[in-house]
Amino acid sequence: MKRERDHQFECGICGAEDRYLLHNVRHRTPSYRRLCTNCLLKDHRGLFCPFCFSVYEEPLPIDRSMCNKCPSISHKPCIPSNYPHHTPFICPSCSSPNFSFFNPTTNGDSPSGRIIDRDSARALVAAAKIAAVSMTKAAAMAKVEAEKRVKEATYAKKRAREALERLAYLAAKEKEIMEGKGGGSNYNGLYLAPPPPPPQITGKVEK
């Protein structure tokens, strides 16, 4: 495996280099970014319970506590009774500036090895789920975007063709007038008013 250092291997928010644990997420369509588990969860606080790390499906839990400082939503029964920020409820990540959802501890025996505790493992799973949902949405939106672009391109081509036809028509009319041929009664020498569209466009338009 190549060892080159690249932004591809850095978290888009905190810059942490963690190639194995970065998640791809949609970020202001149509761009994407890679985020570490902690930044991804902090960036999507409304999507999971910060205590049990379950990712919310469409109907939100009824018995919930919303953080007073951020969009985080917690299952009320998940909040430990000894949690110090009950009223007003402040979510774990708002309760401390150094809070991190993902805290693998380095294994003393091997410098590269890391131990992931249960909460960090849950955080990792939640982040991976949120990233998967985000990328699925991104794929759907990319498809819609692509279809929109095709429609826009078709429309733009149509407009360009119409403009060219119009131009050819006006040029032909002008030439006609200049040569003193017909149609004179309706023209005062000014061609500002848009003439009615030509009845039919054929290859007969004079250059």
What residues line the site for Zn ion (CB under 5 A)? Answer: 11, 13-14, 16, 36, 39, 49, 51-52, 67, 69-70, 72, 75, 78, 91, 94
Beta carbon of residue 45, minimum distance to Zn ion (angstroms, whole number): 6
How far is C-alpha 73 from the chain's CA centre? 22
Please, which residue, 99 or 187, has the CB nearer to Zn ion? 99
Please, which residue, 16 or 205, has the CB nearer to Zn ion? 16
| Amino acid at site 14 | C
Task: Provide the H-helix boundaries in the chain.
Answer: 37-43, 92-95, 118-178
Beta carbon of residue 162, minimum distance to Zn ion (angstroms, whole number): 51
Please, which residue, 99 or 169, has the CB nearer to Zn ion? 99
- Number of Cα atoms under 13 Å in the Cβ half of residue 60: 14
Task: Tell me how far apart the terminal alpha carbons of the chain are, to the nearest angstrom.
Answer: 64
Beta carbon of residue 57, minimum distance to Zn ion (angstroms, whole number): 13
Using alpha carbons only, give the angle 184, 205, 191 rounded to the nearest 5 degrees. 35
Beta carbon of residue 110, minimum distance to Zn ion (angstroms, whole number): 24
Residue among 158, 190, 159, 185 at smallest CA distance from 174: 190
Beta carbon of residue 8, minimum distance to Zn ion (angstroms, whole number): 14
Beta carbon of residue 120, minimum distance to Zn ion (angstroms, whole number): 14
Please, which residue, 66 or 177, has the CB nearer to Zn ion? 66
Q: Alpha carbon of 61 to those of 7, 46, 53, 74, 93: distances in Å? A: 37, 12, 13, 9, 20
Please, which residue, 51 or 101, has the CB nearer to Zn ion? 51
3-class SS at 46?
helix
Using alpha carbons only, give the angle 8, 12, 17 rounded to the nearest 5 degrees. 60
Please, which residue, 16 or 135, has the CB nearer to Zn ion? 16
User: How far is 162 from 76, CA to CA, in rounded Å?
Assistant: 62
